[in-house]
């Protein structure tokens, strides 16, 4: 046994890290000569919700916090520094707003020199040599005409600087390009003013010149999102869709157009959202990802109240208008607005979810209002119903959305959940799932539970046509959900082990299911699914060993005929099932790739305890 384990290490086939013991022999049978149904091309996607400051302070790279002074009745996130209190005073003003939507501005009363400081979202990440654009709206009264000295300060020194002058008594925008001569992940913006009079400021923005695909996303967060190769993007939530009450619900019409006319909103996750990423940007994000957009609309229900049935017409019309904005010709009202916002062609929205986690009689009453109106105008659109304590039956949904959050053991026990689902009923969208209990901050054991469950989703992808882990992003400084796929601060990110499970499954989709049988000492410890990639000819076998010990396993590729070559083996495991990644150790638990040479359709492989393995077996 010791010699066998040493050979595994030498050939890149990974040694058992969690135990030196080996389980009783197991067997995985793949019926290559009996291909099954096609793998749903939309099976693995992503779910984006504005939670945990995932947008502002995250994917949306605005560095100034409370840029429009709409967050409260006081200038939250702004600090006024003065050698004498009488030198300056700041307060919120509503007497002469920038526009009818953006009602609040900052009024600075000056009688000397003052400094205004904004530290952004737990520090501004400034990188040496990078360019940043400061843009602000200003007007002056009582003799003040500037200038405003602008500095980016970090690491105890000035990182960039410039000046804005020529301020008049009318609202105007002023722009300043800044180039950083140093770096600091916790820098701050400083505005220094001297003189007498009154200065009004609004929409004080600092953005990096470079964004992902030049569409306004933070590059180092967009890239790991894109690396998941999502087949679809569900947005904007989640509970964010409903809101605590209807005043806090997501209203897409208030999130389009110029950023200074979008209505900021205090959301259910306890912060103000600028809507810098609005409905248009979500659609653009899906297009840039090569993903199907899946928009979730409010169904006239919040967490605390429901819209009366005789007032539901507005909610239905909002859904119809959202479809027209995404898909309508440019000679329509909303399609024309999309074109004026920079996207003449349609976004090709094909999936619409009606409500989020809504159920019982109020949902059953509202569901047909949307279905009948939408299908009458857009018969080809795929509509998704909530399965929350049951789903509506009239009219019968094409697709229903099911959510699961639990322990690793629950997901392992339910890996075969969909084997016995009624194939004559609606298709299934597993819109949210994750191990959120007994998994630390997001450890390997949680990823093992999810991976076992995902083998069942893949094997049953004739009925489970879409699935998405949730939530996607979390700012480490504002964690409102226990476990999140991608965690970050102002300048760093890491994926929990579950991130790499999602990535492995998405990178190794396959196109046709191959029937797979598992014979093991304990049927609840070893899980497998197999597909064929018709483009490459590869057989892709995914194996999850949820036991604490390694499983020496025979792989039997029935109907393969003569087979020889090198198998690519990618393994996610670690020394301890409780191991986690962190900002300080971002790659402690990541997949490792090795190779195994085979000379027949049957071969032996040892799967480490608490591991996920993807085997790509060439057949051409």
- pLDDT, tens digit (0-9, with 9 covering 90-100), for 7-54: 333 333 333 333 445 556 899 999 999 999 999 999 999 999 999 999
Multiple choice CATH, 2-39+510-617, 2.30.110.10, 2.60.40.1180, 1.10.10.10, 1.10.3720.10: 2.60.40.1180
pLDDT for the residue numbered 23: 58
Listed range (81-95, 359-373, 590-604) with the worst mean pLDDT? 81-95
> What is the Cα–Cα distance from 192 to 292, expressed in whole angstroms?
47
Stretch(es) of the chain classified as CATH 3.20.20.80: 44-61+211-507
CATH of 78-208, one of 2.60.120.260, 3.40.50.300, 3.40.50.720, 2.60.200.20: 2.60.120.260
Q: Please, are residues 427 and 458 in contact by the beta-carbon 8 Å criterion?
A: no
Place of tokens 């022999």: 25
The number of beta carbons lying within 10 Å of the beta carbon of residue 234 is: 32
Active-site pick, 49, 324, 357, 450: 357
Evaluate the CA torsion angle 579, 581, 586, 587 in order and state its sign. positive
| 2 has a pLDDT exceeding 60 | no
Is residue 497's pLDDT more than 50? yes
Q: Is the pLDDT score of 452 beyond 90?
A: yes
Residue 158 a catalytic site member: no
Average pLDDT, the chain: 94
- The answer to whether domain 44-61+211-507 has CATH 3.40.50.300 is no
Q: Is the pLDDT of residue 179 over 60?
A: yes
Cα within 13 Å of Cα(280), Cβ side: 25
Helix (H) or strand (E) holding 88: strand 88-93
- CA-to-CA distance for 84 and 72, rounded, in angstroms? 26
Q: What is the pLDDT of residue 146?
A: 82
| Start and end residues for every CATH 2.60.120.260 domain found in the chain | 78-208
- Between 99-103, 223-227, 501-505, the lowest mean confidence (pLDDT) is in 99-103
Contact call for residues 47 and 547 (beta carbons, < 8 A): no
Residue spans in the chain of domains classed CATH 2.60.40.1180:
2-39+510-617
Cβ contacts of 173 within 8 Å, gap of 6 or more: 135, 136, 137, 203
| Distance, CA of 579 to CA of 384 (rounded, Å) | 37
pLDDT confidence band for 155 (50 / 70 / 90): confident
User: What letter would DSSP give residue 56?
Assistant: B
d(CA 357, CA 296): 11
pLDDT in tens, 519-545: 986 656 999 999 999 999 999 999 999
């Amino acid at each position: 046994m010791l010699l066998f384990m040493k050979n595994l290490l030498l050939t890149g086939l990974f040694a058992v890290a969690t135990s030196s013991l080996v389980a009783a022999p197991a067997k995985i049978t793949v019926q290559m000569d009996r291909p099954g149904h096609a793998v749903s091309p939309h099976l693995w996607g992503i779910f984006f919700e504005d939670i945990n400051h995932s947008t502002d302070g995250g994917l949306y790279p605005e560095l100034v916090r409370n840029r429009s002074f709409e967050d409260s009745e006081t200038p939250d996130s702004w600090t006024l520094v003065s050698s004498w209190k009488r030198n300056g005073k700041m307060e919120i003003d509503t007497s002469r707003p920038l526009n009818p939507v953006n009602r609040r501005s900052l009024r600075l009363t000056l009688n000397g020199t003052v400094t205004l400081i904004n530290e952004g979202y737990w520090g501004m990440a400034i990188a040496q040599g990078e360019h940043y654009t400061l843009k602000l709206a200003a007007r002056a009264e009582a003799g003040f005409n500037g200038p405003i000295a602008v500095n980016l300060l970090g690491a105890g020194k000035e990182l960039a600087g410039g000046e804005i002058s020529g301020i008049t008594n009318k609202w105007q925008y002023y722009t300043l390009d800044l180039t950083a001569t140093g770096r600091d992940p916790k820098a701050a913006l400083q505005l220094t003013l001297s003189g007498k009079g009154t200065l009004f400021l609004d929409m004080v923005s600092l953005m990096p010149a470079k964004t992902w695909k030049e569409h306004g996303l933070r590059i180092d967060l967009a890239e790991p999102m894109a690396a998941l190769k999502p087949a679809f993007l569900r947005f904007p939530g989640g509970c964010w869709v409903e809101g605590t009450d209807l005043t806090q619900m997501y209203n897409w019409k208030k999130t389009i157009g110029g950023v200074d006319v979008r209505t900021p909103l205090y959301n259910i996750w306890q912060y103000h959202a600028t809507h810098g990423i609005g409905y248009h940007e979500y659609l653009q994000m899906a297009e840039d990802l090569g993903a199907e957009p899946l928009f979730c609309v409010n169904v006239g229900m919040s967490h605390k109240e429901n819209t009366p049935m005789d007032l539901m017409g507005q909610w239905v019309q909002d859904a119809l208008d959202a479809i027209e904005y995404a898909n309508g010709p440019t000679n329509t009202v909303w399609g024309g607005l999309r074109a004026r916002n920079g996207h003449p062609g349609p976004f090709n929205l094909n999936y619409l979810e009606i409500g989020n986690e809504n159920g019982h009689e109020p949902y059953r009453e509202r569901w047909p209002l949307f279905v009948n109106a939408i299908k009458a105008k857009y018969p080809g659109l795929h509509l998704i119903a909530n399965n929350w304590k049951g789903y509506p039956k009239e009219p019968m949904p094409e697709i229903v959305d099911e959510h699961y959050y639990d322990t690793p053991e629950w997901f392992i026990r339910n890996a075969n959940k969909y084997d016995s689902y009624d194939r004559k009923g609606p298709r299934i969208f597993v819109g949210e799932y994750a191990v959120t209990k007994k998994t630390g901050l997001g450890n390997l054991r949680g990823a093992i539970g999810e991976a076992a469950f995902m083998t069942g989703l893949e094997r049953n992808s004739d009925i489970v046509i879409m699935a998405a882990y949730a939530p996607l992003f979390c700012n480490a400084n504002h964690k409102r959900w226990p476990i999140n796929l991608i965690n970050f601060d102002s300048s760093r990110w890491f994926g929990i082990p579950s991130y790499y499970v999602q990535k492995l499954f998405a990178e190794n989709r396959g196109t046709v299911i191959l029937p797979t049988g598992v014979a093991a000492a304990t049927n609840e410890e070893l899980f497998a699914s197999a597909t064929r990639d018709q483009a490459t000819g590869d057989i892709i076998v995914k194996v999850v060993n949820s036991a604490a010990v390694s499983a020496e396993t025979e792989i039997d590729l029935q109907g393969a005929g003569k087979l020889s070559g090198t198998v690519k083996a990618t393994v996610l495991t670690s020394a301890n099932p409780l191991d986690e990644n962190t900002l300080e150790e971002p790659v402690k638990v990541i997949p490792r790739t090795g190779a195994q040479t085979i000379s027949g359709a049957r071969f032996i492989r040892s799967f480490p305890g608490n591991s996920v393995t993807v085997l790509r077996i060439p057949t051409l």
